[in-house]
Structure 1
Amino acid sequence: MTTTRQPPKDLRDFYEDPAVPVASGTPRSRRQARMLAAALGPGTGTHTTRTVLDIGCGDGTAAATAAPLLTGHRVIGVDWSQDALRRARAHLTHPIRGELTGPGLPFATGCADAVLFSEVIEHLVDPDAALDEIRRVLRPGGHLMLSTPNLAAWYNRALLLAGVQPVFSEVSLRAIHGRPGKEVVGHLRLYTPRALREFVAAAGFEVVRLEGAPFHGVPRPLRPLDRLACARPSLASILLLHARKT
């Protein structure tokens, strides 16, 4: 067992804790932004500028990483955590508070050309409702760029064979038990590539592409192997999925 934290009253209390990480690795953000830039094309004028919602923007560093690759497009950060939004103001002009459940996002139906949904879905109690709301705000043919940890990552396969809890999985909001690592980040759900494809397709999206990305938390000596695993998404640490609203 690793270091414990004060028990949160609920999930909202957990994510308002400044000690909970709200940023992901730069390599993943850059790969995802390249995929989105290729899908949107250049934003060089009024009729080519697209609206991109970064839902679950955290501290805004992912949007800041993506911005140079999305020149000419409008990126709007959205998060439910007031603490994350305070930090996001250093990177985003107008971060907006919003939720995927309850009253839903504060945007009109069909207003967005693309949604960045980076390392959010694994934290959700109701991912079905979340994808329904994302589908609502996307225009027909709009793009969903979703990233999430891969339950079937190359090292997790070895850990399970050894009877060790997989990386990314958590059994408590207070401490890490039974697996490597120290940070509790609130993962509630994990996906294999096949499960992610099926889940997104069932929500009314057409899966266009699935790629792999490295995980910034892999020990330094193993990082070259982790980068090699990206060539096969089924083994990669992080899954990058591009889908379109049907």
Structure 2
Amino acid sequence: MTTTASPPRNLRDFYENPAVPVASGPSRSLRQARMLAGALGPAGAGGARTILDIGCGDGSAAATAAPLLHGHRLVGVDWSQDALARARTRMPYAVRGELTDGGLPFASGSADAVLFSEVIEHLVDPDAALEEIHRVLRPGGHLMLSTPNLAAWYNRALLLAGVQPVFSEVSLRGIHGRPGSEVVGHLRLYTARALREFVAASGFTVVRLEGAPFHGVPRPLRMLDRLACARPPLASILLLHARRT
């Protein structure tokens, strides 16, 4: 007899499901780690810095970043117990926390940098999330945020054709009206302009915006996707570096 998994009752159930992806492409992780390494400098120059990987998922992004951040303290944070169990196999420290007021188990101003990779698009309340990140970062601390680009080059063409954009979702139970076959729980999507304005309004100074390719682009289109990274407003993934003001 074949059994079918019960549909998720709420977002918490959805993210505790081991079948839900908790990792994204290594190209984005590597580009983001290089941006952070360049901003922090070598550990010996100013001592070890504390970096929080908030929404660390299975720890694969932290594992990709670790060689470039040698000597710094990298701590993973996630709300999913399943994700944390996997993250602890890839990084020395991974703790549970939530992006609510006081929901992160760290003192105010205790972190030098936050990696916030492919998380903001999953949040019901991104305003509260950035407020909590602002709290734990020291003044001048670095925020490295990545998120899918609603205005990616192929999404512009899809919308003209009346097709739901890639990355957008209308259900937690299935794909409707867009390319792809995997439900990942995206609730919010940003253009480059919207992301800049939102982060600036949350108490940060935007330093830099770059583009990164998307690992799910079909192979024949991957060269175009890499070329689009030269124009961040067209890129698949937005990589934003900001500092706490």
For the criterion TM > 0.5, the same-fold answer is: yes
Q: What pairs with 1:50-199 in structure 2 (closer than 5 Å)?
A: 50-101=49-100, 103-199=102-198
Q: Report the Cα offset of residue 6 of structure 1.
A: 3.3
Per-residue CA distance 1:34-59 (angstroms, 9 max, x = gap)? 000000000027x5210000000000
Q: Which contiguous aligned blocks of 4+ residues in structure 1 show a shift greater than 3 angstroms?
A: none
Instruction: Tell whether the 8 Å contact from 1:6 to 1:174 is kept in structure 2 after alignment.
Output: no
State the Cα RMSD in Å: 1.1
In 1, Cα distance between equivalents of 2:221 and 2:186 = 23
In 2, Cα distance between equivalents of 1:218 and 1:160 = 17
Instruction: Tell whether the 8 Å contact from 1:210 to 1:240 is kept in structure 2 after alignment.
Output: yes
In 1, Cα distance between equivalents of 2:29 and 2:102 = 29
Segment of structure 1 superposing worse, 151-160 or 102-111 = 102-111
Q: Report the Cα offset of residue 102 of structure 1.
A: 5.5
Query: TM-score, with normalisation over the residues of structure 1?
Result: 0.97
Instruction: Tell whether the 8 Å contact from 1:60 to 1:91 is kept in structure 2 after alignment.
Output: yes
Gaps of 5+ in 1: none
In 2, Cα distance between equivalents of 1:142 and 1:29 = 19
Q: Report the Cα offset of residue 89 of structure 1.
A: 1.1
SS at match of 1:177: coil
In 1, Cα distance between equivalents of 2:27 and 2:198 = 25
Per-residue CA distance 1:167-198 (angstroms, 9 max, x = gap)? 00000000000000000000000000000000
1:21 corresponds to:
21
For 1:109, the aligned partner's letter is S
Give the aligned length.
242
Relative distance call for 1:5 and 1:169 in structure 2 (3 A) is farther
Gaps of 5+ in 2: none
For 1:43, the aligned partner's letter is A
Instruction: Tell whether the 8 Å contact from 2:77 to 2:97 is kept in structure 1 after alignment.
Output: yes
For 1:90, the aligned partner's letter is T
1:200 aligns with 2:199: yes
